[in-house]
Amino acid sequence: MSQEQPEGRASRVIAYVELASDTDKHAYGMTVRLAADLDDGCRVAAGGFGFGGPRNGVAAIWHRYRGPQLSDDPEEQWRLLNETYHVGVSDIEDAINQMLGRDPDQHRPPRLSWGHLIDALAAVGVTMTEEELIALPLHIELSDEVKAEIARD
């Protein structure tokens, strides 16, 4: 990251997702570090936030199930999800979008998780609001450990 005063504004946000803990066979924890690419080519990195939840079953679905219909019978569908569902990339995306206020269909937390990035941008002379950051494209990068977690059977 350059310490020079950047020209312009952020053009996209990057969320780096890492596995925070792998000690509990029933639950996971992930951390997200945020960064912003600026118009002048600089990248500003900052801390972020964490989230977690159950690894398996219906409770692992962060916001909504996006897979194939497993049964025409709703009770059987529920049973199959409980027996076969494992946290996936859509759950990670939903968690990030909720914490950043990017999904109007999800409950918006009372305090969004942009604070560290807003502070890091301000430190290099770039002033942006939460709403401006929400409007930017978001690129999510998963660590190898997260990719292994969501690939589990």
Helices in the chain by DSSP H: which ranges? 74-84, 89-99, 115-123, 130-135, 144-151
Rounded to a whole number, what is the largest CA-CA distance in the chain? 60
Residue 136's pLDDT band (boundaries 50, 70, 90)?
very high
* pLDDT of residue 52 exceeding 80: yes
pLDDT digits (tens, 9 = 90+) for 83-122: 889 999 999 999 999 999 999 888 888 889 999 999 999 9
Residue with tokens 């002048």: 40
Measured distance CA(98)–CA(113) in Å, rounded: 9
Residue 47 DSSP SS3? strand
Contact in structure between 81 and 58 (CB atoms under 8 Å): yes
The whole-number pLDDT of residue 111 equals: 85
pLDDT band at 7, cuts 50/70/90? low
Angle subtended at Cα 142 by Cα 114 and Cα 149, rounded to the nearest 5 degrees: 120
